[in-house]
Structure 1
């Protein structure tokens, strides 16, 4: 496995698909592969190191979802509470003008009818309203972004579809309202603090260790600057890297955290083992169970969605060597991770290159190198 992973990483760097990466693999609780490769800052020829801090983007979602489920366990909040119990002014409508109830469970599972600007057609309502995906617009407040989001029509009646969305940002506002604490404080006291994830949060602990982000480009990735638009599929997303170091930017539950590969691995291993000191095994089992159905295609054919991540319902026909019950997600700044409970396997691959490190060939190459031809 080591040779295969080394080759996959080297190919991606030499071919200039990614600038730098940290890859960690754990089996049954033991780290069996660890490597930092490439550059954290290409222009300064600063090498990548294992303790580098990355803008985590959507790796924020599993952490915030876990903090939310902790509040459910504490009976501070209910999965089937309507959003309006906590945010009375957040009342998005259907296209026909009807205002349906949205539950917190629907926010958590992306079945609320909300969407993301980067998934909407150019010139669509999310673009006209200037809704932020939590990756751009430094200094924007959460109240203002929710005001904009609330004016956009829902894509479908809540509970009747699946669409990746800003639901976790809305959930972050609910968490703050329900507890009387800030979202960063709730995440720190319920998740990152107990797990000693010292470099992971909504503020950068050590700016000197913050990796420079890059965007896909030819002949090589380009250094990101605020306002850069990076193409993805038929659309793309706007990024503002300075958002991570701007204390006036709202704490985006879906995209606003920073952290290290080691911290992410520690968190995922805690989930794999049943929740440790942060969640009960029953809650973790519910989070790792598909709550939506494989028709969601949350990571393509055969993938449903649990609480915080996609869940592999049926590996047949997917081309993946992963086992049924594998959970997986990524991050727009160029990250991927998965946990295969059947094989007691956890893999974290953080890069500083969007979108290759999230949705290019690199995540699949890392995955296939881990399993090998014989699935081992």
Structure 2
């Protein structure tokens, strides 16, 4: 990518990609934003917000964020650290005395806030486990289903299941951000949704982002990848739970799109937020530029520094994990044009995003198609289109 980053070729490349994936019916709708050196270089809403009603996508559409919730909630935790109300190496049991799961060897685990942020706490996700696995048997919600349990009830169930490994021993993507949300509630002295508004979304003017859709008319309909025999992605149910397979031998995702409109659903720090692409871009650019007014520069840098050393991240070769998202350590191993130090994550309902601090580049791609928009070919194709590489 040249240093002047010409806007017209970039727009043409992304426009071509979006036209292709929509024509091929890999995505139903998408909002893509690109900012370079603080300037908006691309913004487009494409496809449909609601295919059946023929409602076009809009750039201020609201999306079920799934794991895009994690960096928002992680930022809230770090804002409390900046205020001296929470410490990264605090024991979780200090804030949640009821949450004391046992290690595989039977000892009570000593989990820290930092280990929750870095996903080294020994926890898991039910969708990674076999059908009927330990979390399913305990009735643990992953934060995306229609479960009626409270956050505390869910964590009490979680605490009754032995950890997958001793804290710090390995890296494992997990429900740790939901535990972090409960810690935030205790440290802030208020419900998680209120704390996130006070610490993150309020100061940044992220008026579209909360734990429930603030405007149902702008909420994108959720779809799932087409399967054999289907001509297009299938619409996920508006009520109840819909199952979305993930990998062979794993339970897969249990999704309830209606959760985004249910104010009684517990605030899942790892998967429960709803928001817009422009709102999330505002947070990414705030962090890229040093964190103000949310975080001091040193803490923002710590957030985007790999904390996991030589620990291997399954699914993400060449990457480590910071305090809320992956950090690129080895572009060659990752097979990506991104610069070393790039941050990246996604969300089950069909989202991907990355920040390349070296290139002063931030990209947000929210779609309403799971899981193509999170982990399908579109994600790599968009990245290569942004950097000006030929599509595979």
Q: Give 2:236's match in structure 1, choosing from 214, 224, 227.
A: 224
Distance in 1 of aligned mates of 2:24 and 2:242: 23
After TM superposition, the structure 1 = structure 2 runs for residues 1-376 of structure 1, keeping only pairs within 5 Å, are 1-217=10-226, 218-225=230-237, 226-234=240-248, 235=250, 236-293=252-309, 295-297=311-313, 300-373=316-389
- Structure 1 window deviating more from structure 2 (351-360 vs 120-129): it is 120-129
Secondary structure of 1:295 counterpart: coil
Distance in 2 of aligned mates of 1:67 and 1:332: 21
2:104 and 2:166 in contact (8 A); partners too = no
Residue 374 of structure 1 deviates from its aligned partner by 8.7
Distance in 2 of aligned mates of 1:311 and 1:358: 17
Structure 1: stretches of 5+ with no match in the other structure: none
2:6 maps to none
Residue 138 of structure 1 deviates from its aligned partner by 4.2
Residue 227 of structure 1 deviates from its aligned partner by 1.2
- Structure 1 window deviating more from structure 2 (303-312 vs 214-223): it is 214-223
Structure 2: stretches of 5+ with no match in the other structure: 1-9
Distance in 1 of aligned mates of 2:293 and 2:385: 32
2:141 and 2:147 in contact (8 A); partners too = no
RMSD: 1.3
* Cα pair distance change 1:294/1:214, threshold 3 Å: farther
Deviations 1:23-80 (A, max 9, x none): 0000001110111001100100100000100011111100110010010111111111
- Structure 1 window deviating more from structure 2 (95-104 vs 15-24): it is 95-104
Residue 83 of structure 1 deviates from its aligned partner by 0.9
Distance in 2 of aligned mates of 1:198 and 1:2: 27
Residue 95 of structure 1 deviates from its aligned partner by 2.6
Please, what TM-score do these two structures have when normalized by structure 1?
A: 0.97
Distance in 1 of aligned mates of 2:278 and 2:143: 24
Moved over 2 A (4+): 137-140, 293-299
Please, what TM-score do these two structures have when normalized by structure 2?
A: 0.93
- Structure 1 window deviating more from structure 2 (1-10 vs 296-305): it is 296-305
Residue 294 of structure 1 deviates from its aligned partner by 5.1
- Number of residue-to-residue matches in the alignment: 375
